[in-house]
Amino acid sequence: MAGTRALLMLENFIDGKFLPCSSYLDSYDPSTGEVYCRVPNSGKEEIEAAVEAARAAFPGWSSRSPQERSQVLQRLADLLEQSLEELAQAESRDQGKTLTLARTMDIPRSVQNFRFFASSILHHTSECTQMDHLGCLHYTVRTPVGIGVPPGVVNIVFGMGPRVGEALVSHPEVSLISFTGSQPTAERITQLSAPHCKKLSLELGGKNPAIIFEDANLEECVPTTVRSSFANQGEICLCTSRIFVQKSIYSEFLKRFVEATRMWKVGIPSDPSADMGALISKAHLEKVRSYIKKARMEGAQILCGEGVDKLNLPPRNQAGYFMLPTVITDIKDESCCMKEEIFGPVTCVVPFDSEEEVIQRANSVKYGLAATVWSGNVGRVHRVAKKLQSGLVWTNCWLIRELNLPFGGMKSSGVGREGAKDSYEFFTEIKTITIKH
């Protein structure tokens, strides 16, 4: 990376070298709306170079022992940890998120993931069975599909989906694709990869419900649900965007929830007291605002946030992509705000009567990534969690992750799972070998 006229200039990283590109794209600082960086606008040529580098590096890297590869991952974790502040500053500026969040969650979680999988690869075992009557022994081995960290093992190619993305996913020598993003993009990836029968892991977001029963502990439930709705400006695939509250406590919950939401501070990312920063882009900000306009047109009530409360920002940040956390009520389940992923600081709060009713309503969307259930009744918690069509269900908490266990969604929220065992199986091919003696 090199600075030119105060702009950060990114380069592709291919075969262990930073390489310039013939064409570049502007990247904007979400907190100011100003161009701060230029990113390579790569295409087929760069993908070919990256695939060639990966192909050449694969035999040597894949033949390394698990212990050697574990040491490389641990070293990467060390380097990330040593550069935590620099990486947090870069992540905050690029994404618009608060520096506090980047410091305490994004970078530390990256370090944790490297350390977890560095340890995990040392503890996998293979299967073995024998057939004495036929004199045969069967066992399995797993071989890597992807690649890993000397020159050519990791290649980073920047660009837009229609150019560089399509060149990558349709390349015959790219045999596996892991993607996190929107459903329309995933559909295109599936179409392009189908002729090659590629392995796919697709994490496609959600329309995640929170179900709050009348015996919920509101002292814990309200602040946690504010966080689950608005953390990182609502730009987390696991954020809550539909809140179902049992009628007997609906008014009380709503009062407390709106009060707590109004306390959620929107500010410049470097402000240590800010709970929320800026949204990722101007186009996305306009998209999120369009849902609030649609809700108003449908007769819904906006209790706080966009168009209701005033957003105060320093003069330099007036053109940034900020908006206040917004709470919508009096909205029908059929509304686009209750069915489509908004991916912003917007949540809808609606009442319900019975357990059976709320399960049906929670399951009535095409997504099925995550859900939260709030209740003091252990039997109910287990019963409801089992019936919800969600890949993850948190009860009386949110965003507590265990990397050993599967992560992923049902229905249109994706294909496949991540986690110690699931990732190991996805990124390797299993082979059964039979020996007759």
- First-last CA distance in the chain: 59
Q: Give residue-wise pLDDT tens across range 290-322.
A: 999 999 999 999 999 999 999 999 999 999 999
Distances (CA, A) of 18 to 1, 86, 154: 8, 19, 12
Catalytic residue among 203, 235, 341, 418: 203
Helix (H, G, I), strand (E, B) or coil at 24: strand
Q: Give residue-wise pLDDT tens across range 389-423.
A: 999 999 999 999 999 999 999 999 999 999 999 99
Average pLDDT over residues 349-377: 98
| Window from 38-42, 138-142, 431-435 with minimum mean pLDDT | 138-142
What's the one-letter identity of residue 371?
A: A
Average pLDDT over residues 159-165: 96
On whether the CB atoms of residues 222 and 259 are closer than 8 A, the answer is no
Helices (H) and strands (E) counted in the chain, each on its own, are 14, 21
pLDDT given at position 221: 98
Contacts of residue 346, Cβ cutoff 8 Å, sequence gap at least 6: 234, 241, 288, 291, 292, 305, 306, 325, 326, 328, 337
pLDDT bucket at 381, cuts 50 / 70 / 90: very high
DSSP secondary structure string for all residues of 335-360: SHHHHS---SSEEEEEEE--HHHHHH
pLDDT given at position 277: 98
pLDDT given at position 2: 43
Q: Give residue-wise pLDDT tens across range 216-256.
A: 999 999 999 999 999 999 999 999 999 999 999 999 999 99
If you average pLDDT over every residue of the chain, what do you get? 95
b/e burial code for range 176-185 (CB count within 10 A of at least 16 → b): bbebeeebeb
Q: Respond yes or no: is residue 203 known to be catalytic.
A: yes
Q: Is the pLDDT of residue 80 over 70?
A: yes
- Which domains, from first to last, does the chain contain? 8-204+416-436 (3.40.605.10), 208-395 (3.40.309.10)
Q: Give residue-wise pLDDT tens across range 12-62.
A: 999 999 999 999 999 999 999 999 999 999 999 999 999 999 999 999 998
Distances (CA, A) of 306 to 63, 249, 295, 298: 56, 26, 12, 16
| Nearest in space to 246 (alpha carbons), one of 378, 373, 387 | 373
How large a percentage of the chain has pLDDT more than 90?
Answer: 91
Taking every pair of C-alpha atoms in the chain, what is the biggest distance, in angstroms? 83
What is the number of residues in the chain?
437
Average pLDDT over residues 372-394: 98
pLDDT given at position 145: 74
Report CA 298 to chain centroid distance, whole Å: 30
